[in-house]
Amino acid sequence: MSPRSDAPILVRLDDVTMHYGRGRDAIQAIDTVSLDIRKGEFIAVVGPSGCGKSSLMKLISGLHPASSGFVTVEDRPVKGPLKSVGMAFQASNLLPWRTVVDNVLLPLEIVQPHRSKIRRERAAYKAKAEALLAQVGLAGFTDKFPWQLSGGMQQRTSICRALVHEPDILMLDEPFGALDAFTREELWCALRDIQQARGVTVMLVTHDLREAVFLADTVYVMSNRPGKIVKAQPIDLPRPRDLDVTYTQPFQDLVHELRSHIGGKH
């Protein structure tokens, strides 16, 4: 199994169901999902459009409550937004009036204990954010404004913003969906390296099976709405993985295997 199979469990979903809305108009988004995410594990959730992948994210981050079942993070039930979560989405959602480094500093202005310290220790925090940006290859761009960056660079910034407060879990909702194929592969490697370096737990929601297999330790396949987990596929490819691995037979077999669990016409 994956090299992290002996790490403690960080997130546990136990028979979780989730609805949007109430009463008869309620739409069921997630149906009896159970899964564990270990500390430092990289999981990917794949599935058809609208299958509840993003809902799963909202559930774990505490942005939306479960209608039944239990969600626990570090053995504590999730009751509201977790501060130990960093999120990034398909759109980079950077603030256009802030420079790149100030955008990355935004979470620190909100999360304690940084919030009360950042005024006094801004220089130190800034240095930390700049180091993080350098790690994803944005060393010379920290004082630029978001619109001066390419789409890939904006997305790197967005990921740095999600990581700067050192969250336990990094949640990525199709973060590379709007990028071209080459930039996407570049960012896979950037994400792989930064996850390796920081040992952060990652939950990646994606449409792209190659992306999921390349990056994750475990890939979960969800069915059409209401989302149910139809397959949990451990990815045993050795790490560190190189882009070349995507052209090997074992990789192709895994992608093929996952594809067979996703509905739709062939």
CA-closest candidate to residue 222, choices 242, 205, 247: 205
Residue range at the interface with another protein (CB under 8 A); choices 17-25, 102-110, 128-136, 227-235: 102-110
Rounded least distance, CB 171 to another protein, Å = 8
Angle at 10 between CA 22 and CA 94, to 5 degrees: 70
User: Considering only residues 33, 87, 215, 221, which one is a binding residue for another protein as defined by CB under 8 A?
Assistant: 87
From the list 148, 248, 252, 260, which residue makes contact with another protein (rule: CB under 8 A)?
Answer: 148
Q: Is 182 in the site for another protein (CB under 8 A)?
A: no
Window 57 to 86, contacts with another protein (CB under 8 A): 58, 61-63, 81-83, 85-86
CA distance 41 to 249: 24
**Out of 22, 75, 96, 238, which residue is the one contacting another protein (CB under 8 A)?**
96
Contacts of 217 (CB under 8 A, 6+ apart): 2, 3, 4, 41, 42, 43, 234, 235
Q: Comparing C-alpha atoms, which of 177, 160, 138 is closest to residue 86?
A: 160
**Complex with another protein: residue 93 or 150, whichever CB lies closer:** 93
CB 192, min distance to another protein, A? 23
* 162: contact with another protein by CB under 8 A: yes
Q: Which stretch binds another protein (CB under 8 A): 21-29, 106-114, 183-191, 258-266?
A: 106-114
Stretch that binds another protein, among 11-19, 142-150, 178-186, 253-261 (CB under 8 A): 142-150
Dist. CA 102–CA 43, nearest whole Å: 30
DSSP letter assigned to residue 256: H
Burial class (CB in 10 A: 0-12, 13-18, 19+), 147: exposed
Residues in contact with another protein, counted by CB under 8 A, come to a total of 31
Q: Quote the least distance from Cβ 140 to another protein, whole Å.
A: 13
CB 30 within 8 Å of CB 55: yes
Cβ 181 to another protein, closest distance in Å?
A: 24
CB neighbour class for 162 (10 Å; exposed up to 12, middle 13-18, buried from 19): buried
Q: At what angle do helices 151-163 and 122-135 cross, to 10 degrees?
A: 130
Q: Is 150 in the site for another protein (CB under 8 A)?
A: no
Residues forming contacts to another protein in the complex (CB under 8 A) are: 58, 61-63, 81-83, 85-89, 91, 93, 95-97, 106-107, 109-111, 144-145, 147-148, 161-162, 165, 171, 173
